[in-house]
């Protein structure tokens, strides 16, 4: 009986220690989380129409994009547009249902949501220098695409603009006014024999200036 009692007491003791460490870990995690939220403040960012907003995401799709090329620092991109006197991020993303029919359509959201802890590990805002008019027109085109409720392009087909993926949206916004923002940059995988456009392909355009970055 004493032997069984000792086993029971040890088990209770170990469980107690385990719970105690879990409690401490939770406190530390909450503390760090609070600090992070306080530090990630976007009030000082002066956005402009046509700014491009990049992020490194956490999803499976994001990880695949990052793993596809060694120089892929970002997995997703959107474009800034002013709607009702408020700057919004217009972007195309998969697995995010935005209407009652369950269709994956183009999104429009504020910067805080785009850069939220659930969506972004790191992020940055880039601006096309000395091309304010072009950027403004591109942002207006993005609003048009949003109003058209463009669906996400799972085929990743740059030749078909009836559906779009994130970088394709950016390309189409600028291309609609006669500007190839990508300067012809594409990524080709020989095994697939297809051209892809990654976020970092866009950033090879030297006219982009970094406006903001975190962490």
Q: Domain map of the chain by residue range?
A: 1-39, 52-214
Largest CA distance in the chain: 86
CATH architecture of 52-214: Alpha-Beta Complex (3.90)
> How many whole angstroms separate alpha carbon 193 and alpha carbon 29?
46
- Close Cβ partners of 96 (under 8 Å, ≥ 6 residues apart): 104, 107
Strands 208-214 and 122-128, by their bridges, are: antiparallel
Q: Which pTM value belongs to this model? A: 0.79
Per-residue pLDDT of the chain (215 residues; tens, 9 = 90+): 433 333 334 434 443 433 333 333 333 333 334 344 445 678 788 999 999 999 999 888 898 899 988 888 999 999 999 999 999 999 999 875 444 355 789 999 999 999 999 999 999 999 999 899 999 999 999 999 999 999 999 999 999 999 999 999 999 999 999 999 999 999 988 788 889 999 999 999 999 999 999 98
Q: Say how many residues make up the chain.
A: 215
Q: Which of 93, 85, 95, 83 is nearest to 147 (CA)?
A: 83
């Amino acid at each position: 009986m004493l032997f069984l009692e000792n086993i029971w007491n040890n088990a209770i003791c170990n469980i107690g220690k385990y719970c105690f460490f879990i409690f401490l870990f939770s406190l530390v995690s909450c503390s760090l989380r609070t600090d992070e939220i306080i530090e990630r403040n976007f009030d000082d960012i002066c956005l402009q129409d046509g700014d491009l907003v990049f992020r490194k995401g956490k999803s499976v799709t994001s990880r695949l994009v990052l793993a596809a090329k060694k120089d892929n620092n970002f997995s997703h991109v959107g474009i800034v547009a002013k709607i009702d006197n408020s700057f919004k991020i217009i972007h195309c993303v998969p697995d995010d249902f935005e209407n009652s029919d369950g269709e994956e359509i183009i999104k429009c959201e504020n910067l805080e949501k785009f850069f939220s802890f659930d969506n972004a590990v790191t992020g940055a805002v880039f601006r096309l220098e000395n091309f304010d008019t072009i950027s403004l027109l591109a942002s207006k085109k993005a609003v048009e695409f949003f109003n058209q409720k463009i669906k996400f392009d799972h085929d990743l087909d740059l030749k078909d603009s009836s559906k779009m993926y994130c970088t394709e949206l950016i390309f189409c916004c600028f291309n609609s006014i006669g500007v190839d923002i990508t300067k012809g940059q594409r990524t080709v995988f020989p095994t697939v024999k297809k051209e892809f456009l990654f976020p970092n392909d866009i950033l090879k355009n030297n006219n982009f200036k970094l406006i903001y970055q975190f962490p």
